[in-house]
């Protein structure tokens, strides 16, 4: 996304610097020229600079020059000034860039224009997260807590078709029953809707508006209707050498129209390997942003088709190009291990289109079991810290603002709930289903979604980062698709240290007492080594209702190795409601005070207690 940033004053520029470093966008930055003639720091461009006659002479001129070049505009200005600046430039929400306004104090990020389609609401959320500001979103769907209908299919790579978008949006806003008719594509989008909203998949006669999701261009009924088209159609193409793009495209449009199929539902093209240099075919794919799947003659020959041709087999080595290529492409995109047994359907057998001057082509269309999405998908593995939103890192806030799906243990989802927004899908998994959690997150990211997997504390310390990366590595991940970021969080160990003072100023270690994934003999060996080595030791997962012995055994190991007066802290629910910290000694520690929500910190021989603090000297001479 290419953005323009307008900050006329030095104060505005200072505020904007945080956005330039935190939001990974391409920026065009404008500010007022310095009165003394000094150049502005990079990357700022100056308007109103008399020494540069080609530069815009005013802010209005800079806005007008930049407006058609970008997808979004961010102003650090009063709202009234921005309204006057952009008023002459506005056309409609489908062509105008997003407009977000931030006050110079950095308290508010206001989505002014292009909230849904333009992406201003999403941009305002990101800007607010980056600045610690409050996003101001005034769209009706935001107030109702429902996804905007005009961007409903974007996360899944769907294309928007025709329809009365304002009429359907008005019905949704009024809370009236809206029918949904879906013939293909994921139904994951329904998870983003409140359970009490009147979306009808049955009894459409009760509806006052309708959302149609499918590959067909069915006539609109007497009520407001909109169309979303999942990209499930793969077009198999065979053509004479030199067939023009115009003839290929015209033939395809006629075929789709005759079948009642939407051009927006086309996922891509498929053909014979020999056609890799077919200019008209390549131009057609490029013009529509369609991928092309090329197959060998041997691969196509193995696909059963209704209309094989001996002449075609003798010419290119396979009895079918168009039908076989369409089916094979659809089958492979459906995710079948054995394409010959896939679930793809040939919805339009081959048809031949000839022109004396522009060539000839054979076209066939197959429907895949799942939609194609051009989006690469992204995984954030986020440590949310101890639970207080104030302890969440800025990077984590930005990621949660952008995520389309958030996956985690229900308690963790509850902790970040104040930072989530309408349209996001939350999927909770029980505490013992970490593998399923990782598999689900990866599968959704591979479908093109932006997925946040949240762990308490730090994702890389007994969290989900290792499991997700291990699963990706074992599945042959190329390191690119989906892309991935691990965002650190404040670990339980760090949170406890902060509450206690400075217990970790010398060498320390963390040991988990859970033997669900690590054999107890290995844990016991580590406990003995740590106790003898005089580390400050943090015990994670010390005790549960079913697992009592490990903590008692650990206590015995440390009592044999260290004096009974060794300071110990029992910390529970740090930075959450019900926080409790109990300071005791190794000899007086009561196991009944310990559970799964507790971290036990055992001091070293140097650790001492001072009031409510634990201090481990670093070794400086005082």
C-alpha–C-alpha distance, residues 111 and 354, integer Å:
52
pLDDT of residue 141: 81
pLDDT of residue 205: 77
471 and 453 in contact (C-beta within 8 Å)? no
pLDDT of residue 203: 62
CB atoms under 10 Å from CB of 251, counted, come to 24
- On whether the pTM is more than 0.95, the answer is no
Sign of torsion over alpha carbons 60, 65, 68, 69: negative
121 and 112 in contact (C-beta within 8 Å)? no
Paired strand residues for 437: none
pLDDT of residue 175: 82
pLDDT of residue 334: 78
Tokens 């110079």 belong to residue: 104
pLDDT of residue 145: 81
Residue 47: strand, helix, or coil: strand
Q: Could you give the domains of the chain? A: 2-138 (3.40.50.11220), 149-229 (3.40.1390), 233-367 (3.30.420.180), 378-490 (3.40.1010.10), 493-615 (3.30.950.10)
C-alpha–C-alpha distance, residues 288 and 266, integer Å:
9
DSSP-assigned letter for residue 457: B
**Per-residue buried b or exposed e for 269-288, using 16+ beta carbons within 10 Å of the residue's own CB:** bbbbeebeebebbeebbeee
DSSP-assigned letter for residue 593: G
C-alpha–C-alpha distance, residues 346 and 284, integer Å:
22
Element (DSSP H or E) covering residue 517: none
Nearest CA to 3 among 94, 66, 71?
71
Per residue in 431-481, pLDDT (tens digit) is 889 999 999 999 999 999 999 999 999 999 999 999 999 999 999 999 999
Residues of the chain scoring pLDDT < 70:
198, 200-204, 335-342
Paired strand residues for 360: 354
pLDDT of residue 20: 85
User: Please, how many CA atoms are within 13 Å of residue 75, restricted to the half-sphere of its CB?
Assistant: 25
C-alpha–C-alpha distance, residues 188 and 204, integer Å:
21
Nearest CA to 451 among 474, 483, 477, 473?
483
For 56-150, strand residue ranges (E) read: 72-76, 98-102, 108-113, 134-136
């Amino acid at each position: 996304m290419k953005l323009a940033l307008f900050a006329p004053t030095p104060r505005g520029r200072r505020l904007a610097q945080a956005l330039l470093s935190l939001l990974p966008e391409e920026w065009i930055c404008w500010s007022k020229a310095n009165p003394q003639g000094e150049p502005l720091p990079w990357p700022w461009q100056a308007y109103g600079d008399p020494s540069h006659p080609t530069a815009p002479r005013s802010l209005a001129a800079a806005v007008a020059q930049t407006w058609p070049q970008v997808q979004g505009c961010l102003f650090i200005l009063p709202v009234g000034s921005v309204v006057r600046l952009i008023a002459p430039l506005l056309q409609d929400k489908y062509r105008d860039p997003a407009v977000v306004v931030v006050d110079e104090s950095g308290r508010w990020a206001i989505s002014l224009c292009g909230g849904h389609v333009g992406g201003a609401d999403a941009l305002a959320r990101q800007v607010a997260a980056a600045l610690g500001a409050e996003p101001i979103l005034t769209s009706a769907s935001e107030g109702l807590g429902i996804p905007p209908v005009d961007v409903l299919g974007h996360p899944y790579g769907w294309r928007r078709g025709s329809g009365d978008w304002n009429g359907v949006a008005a019905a949704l806003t009024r809370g009236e029953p809206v029918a949904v008719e879906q013939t293909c594509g994921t139904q994951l989008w329904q998870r983003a809707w409140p359970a009490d909203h009147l979306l009808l998949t049955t009894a459409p006669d009760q509806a006052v508006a309708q959302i149609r999701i499918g590959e067909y261009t069915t006539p609109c009924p007497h009520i407001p209707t909109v169309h979303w088209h999942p990209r499930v159609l793969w077009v198999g193409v065979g053509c004479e050498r030199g067939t023009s793009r115009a003839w290929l495209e015209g033939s395809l449009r006629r075929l789709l129209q005759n079948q009642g199929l939407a051009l927006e539902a086309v996922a891509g093209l498929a053909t014979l390997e020999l056609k890799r240099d077919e200019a008209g075919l390549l131009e057609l794919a490029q013009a529509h942003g369609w991928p092309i799947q090329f197959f060998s003659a041997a691969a196509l020959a193995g696909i059963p088709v209704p209309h094989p041709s001996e002449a075609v087999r003798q010419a290119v080595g396979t009895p079918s190009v168009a039908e076989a290529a369409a089916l094979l492409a659809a089958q492979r995109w459906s995710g079948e291990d054995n394409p010959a047994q896939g679930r793809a359907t040939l919805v339009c057998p081959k048809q031949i289109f000839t022109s004396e001057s522009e060539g000839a082509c054979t076209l066939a269309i197959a429907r895949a079991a799942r939609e194609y999405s051009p989006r690469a998908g992204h995984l954030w593995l986020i440590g949310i810290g101890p639970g207080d939103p104030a302890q969440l890192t800025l990077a984590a806030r930005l990621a949660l603002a952008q995520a389309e799906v958030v996956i985690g243990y229900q308690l963790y989802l509850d902790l970040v709930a104040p930072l989530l927004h309408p349209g996001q899908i939350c999927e909770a998994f029980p505490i013992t289903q970490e593998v399923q959690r990782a598999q689900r997150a990866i599968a959704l990211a591979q479908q093109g979604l932006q997925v946040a997997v949240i762990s308490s504390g730090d994702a890389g310390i007994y969290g989900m980062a290792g499991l997700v990366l291990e699963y990706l590595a074992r599945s042959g991940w190329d390191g690119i698709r989906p892309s991935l970021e691990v965002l650190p969080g404040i670990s339980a160990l760090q949170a406890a240290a902060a509450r206690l003072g400075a217990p970790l100023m010398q060498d320390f270690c963390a040991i988990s007492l859970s033997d669900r994934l690590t054999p107890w003999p290995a844990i016991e060996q580590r406990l003995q080594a740590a106790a003898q080595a005089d580390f400050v030791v943090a015990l994670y997962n010390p005790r549960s209702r079913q697992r009592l012995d490990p903590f008692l055994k650990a206590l015995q190991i440390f009592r044999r190795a260290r004096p009974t007066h060794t300071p110990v802290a029992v910390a529970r629910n740090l930075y959450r409601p019900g926080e409790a910290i109990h300071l005791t000694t190794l000899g007086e520690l009561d196991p009944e005070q310990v559970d799964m929500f507790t971290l036990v910190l055992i001091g070293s021989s140097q650790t001492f207690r001072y009031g409510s603090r634990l201090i481990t000297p670093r070794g400086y001479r005082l």
